[in-house]
Amino acid sequence: MAVAGWRVALCAAVFGAWEWYGQAVDATWFSAPSLIAARLVQWAGDGLAGHVAVTLGEMATGLAVGVPLGTALGLFLGRAPVASVILRPIIFALYSVPLVTLAPLFIFWFGLGMLPKIILVAIVTFFLLFFTTFAGVQTIDRDLVSSFRLMGATDGELFRKLIAPACTAWIISGLRLALPYSLIAATVGEMLLAREGLGYLLMYASQQIDMTGMFAALVVLMIAGVAVGELANLAERRLLRWRTSP
């Protein structure tokens, strides 16, 4: 309880000081919590849900493409030493490009709508899942594989009963990374050029030198980020119950 008390006190102090500065001195550059709250209320009645839906939709669609593809390639190359020796440096070189910098290209190719952002999210999450899954396959004990083969497991059974579940922890940790990155990729894409979405909201406010609007957009992004993180935690606890044992 003491911890929570201190936390509340700290937040109250920061927000109080911020509010005081905005009211008594100047709200031009730093806005004020009350102004931001008022803006959020106003937005809520004026299309905020639509922007949130666009960004979340881009994230969800991109994840739905990137995560399974990255996982599948990681599992496949993890079990194919020759192919992985050939392909890995190429994949690594591609990954070395800061991926969000691909956004301008995709906007040229795929226009202003959701598609370029979806592709950006898909590519970012594809690589994250590929690398974590690939690493997961490498950690599987060779004795364990041998003992399963000697039990009579076919390739398919080996995969279903050993390789895939053994990689679950790695895939989950890849997913934990991919969720926040999908938010980054979607908003960066929207900030560059878009007509809707949270990144657009932020960029639009910035073009108007509207500090209150920028802070309001950042608050929504923070809430989205926390929600996404909690979702990842929940998924992890559900899928990795065996790891929570003492």
- Which parts of this chain interact with another protein (CB under 8 A)? 141, 143-144, 146-154, 157, 161-162, 165-166, 168, 240, 242-243, 245-246
In the bound complex, what is the minimum distance in angstroms from residue 135's beta carbon to another protein? 17
In the bound complex, what is the minimum distance in angstroms from residue 157's beta carbon to another protein? 6
Catalogue the long-range contacts made by 215-219 (C-beta closer than 8 Å, 24 or more residues apart). Answer: 215/31, 215/36, 216/36, 216/39, 216/40, 216/43, 219/36, 219/40
| Cβ proximity to another protein, 10 vs 144, nearer residue | 144
| Cβ proximity to another protein, 160 vs 195, nearer residue | 160
CA distance 71 to 178: 12
| Residues recorded for the chain | 246
User: For 110-126, b where at least 16 C-beta lie within 10 A, e where not — what string?
Assistant: eeeebbbbbbbbbbbbb
In the bound complex, what is the minimum distance in angstroms from residue 240's beta carbon to another protein? 8
> Is there a contact between 54 and 62 (Cβ–Cβ < 8 Å)?
no
CA distance 128 to 181: 9
In the bound complex, what is the minimum distance in angstroms from residue 245's beta carbon to another protein? 4
| Cβ proximity to another protein, 29 vs 242, nearer residue | 242
| Cβ proximity to another protein, 42 vs 147, nearer residue | 147
